[in-house]
Amino acid sequence: MSFSILGIGTAHPPDYLTPDDGLAVARVLAGPDVRTSTWLGPVYSGSNIQRRYQVLGGDLVRDLVAGTSTSGSPFLPSPEREGVGPTTAQRMKTYLQEAGVLAFQASQKALQEAHVSVERITHLVTVSCTGFAAPGVDYFLITRLGLPPTVQRTHVGFMGCHGALNGLRVAHAFAAAEPTSCVLLCAVELCSLHYYYGNAADKLIANAIFADGAAAVVGQSQPAAQRGPSPRLVASGSTLIPDSKNDMAWTVGDHGFEMTLSRRVPSLIAKQLRGWLEGWLHDQGLTLSEIGSWAIHPGGPKILSAVQEGLELSDADLAGSRRVLANFGNMSSPTLLFIIDQLRREKAPLPYVALGFGPGLVAEIALFR
């Protein structure tokens, strides 16, 4: 049994950074030995990102660039926070204030497009790795949207950039187990809350690509009556790439969640992905050449190039992923839903394959027909 997508909604904060804005902020917060470096500029100019939306924008960015403190933000540098930034508790306080608002905006849009009333929602799946609170985003959505108090809640946490695929797998399972169910899935991430203030090169690169956003999906086991065709999730899979445990990691530190992203990740993907993917597609009765459209999580330009090289894809195959990266940055888990939404609106040819990569190093896949 498949999971039919009835509606998708996306949302992002109002403020954004350009590469020049991001570099200016990095020069302030990266530490004295990096502020005048020659290598930091190309990191931002070569990111292929035109804008990244962040809840930490506006007044805070203006303060950082001008050396003022009008915003009063705990994210401003101070002698006691030199090189580390705010505590994890301070970052989580902002998460609690902001994450639910974005999740609500995306979910409301998805419900409206699906023409589904809140009373119809039987299951709520939330996805996030950038913050935790109890009661959290799920409680916020139930109360703000007016979902039934009997809605069944499941949270997918700390799965990283492929988290939305894990969430879709859960939604698919619910729909298969209970054919009368209707599922609301919402992924929300505030990556900017974990901005790194030190001088480690891999973490500074992460500072240049991550962004904030939310995306929601409404779906059920059967297509909506008297509606046009919609993508149906029919299968999903996963593989752990050997000897990669330390190449991508996401740990809770005293001053935010700490991202580790080694330089080996693109080459590992390029070498290991194709063999597994061809075998998985064969089990679905497909070959690489029969895939109509691709949604590749844009962990960065090198990740996309590695997938393109490893699978011998065309520039057109990666165009949607690169467009989302350019316009929104890497929002972690919601990003793939942004790309799937774009493919759907453009009536891109089916079947779709969605691919994401996360801590482990793990590759996750979803097939839509």
Among 257, 258, 272, CA closest to 361:
272
CA angle 356, 214, 178 (to 5 degrees): 75
Pairwise CA distance, residues 201 & 205, whole Å: 6
> Which amino acid, residue 46?
G
Report residue 12 as tokens: 């992002």
| DSSP element (H, E) containing 87 | none
Pairwise CA distance, residues 81 & 134, whole Å: 27
Report residue 21 as tokens: 């804005």
Question: Would you call 129 a catalytic residue per the annotation?
Answer: no
CB 116 within 8 A of CB 227: no
The DSSP result for 141-208, as a single string, is HHHHHT--TTPEEEEEES-GGGHHHHHHHHHHHHHHH-TT-EEEEEEEEEGGGG---S--HHHHHHHT
Catalytic residue among 161, 182, 186, 191: 161
Pairwise CA distance, residues 8 & 13, whole Å: 18
| DSSP element (H, E) containing 211 | none
Which residues are designated catalytic? 161
